Copies of this chain bind each other. A is one copy, B any other.
Amino acid sequence: MFSVTVRDHVMIAHSFKGEVFGPAQRLHGATYVVDVEFKRPALDADGIVVDIGRAGETLHRVLSDLNFRNLDEVPEFAGRNTTTEFLAQVVFNRLVAAIRGGELGPGAREVEQIRVTLHESHVASATFEGRAGVAS
């Protein structure tokens, strides 16, 4: 299996509901350094998994929609805790939609699996990995 990984970051504010979160129930924020790994079993005719330039631009566009926002005020997330693991899946879903929409080019439809990791500090991160399910 081949893969290509690109990195970018996003800075947001939010708060959590639930005693398990302790002081993180207060409005606070985070920088998430985001790694996205695109996986496919064979390279295309150019010898690549995806156009790495386009992959980086698409990740940047997806993160820009969240960047410098208070996630508590984003209607789509109402009633949900925007935990690191939850946001990893949000980024995954938006990347799958971008591939479906052709934003990464026709070759990207061969991507089988995507792994999204959000590093919230030097000691903690969360990941969502799933099937891209575009070609099938």
Residues in B with CB closer than 8 Å to A52 are 124
Q: Which single residue of chain B is at the shortest CB-CB distance from A8? A: B123
> Could you say how many copies of this chain the assembly holds?
6
Interchain CB contact under 8 A, B13 and A70: yes
Q: 7 A-B pairs, CB-CB below 8 angstroms?
A: A2-B128, A3-B126, A4-B125, A5-B125, A24-B68, A31-B120, A48-B85
Q: Which single residue of chain B is at the shortest CB-CB distance from A17? A: B46
Q: Which single residue of chain B is at the shortest CB-CB distance from A47? A: B81
Interchain CB contact under 8 A, B126 and A5: yes
Interchain CB contact under 8 A, A11 and B46: no
Contact of A1 among B21, B43, B83, B128 (CB under 8 A): B128
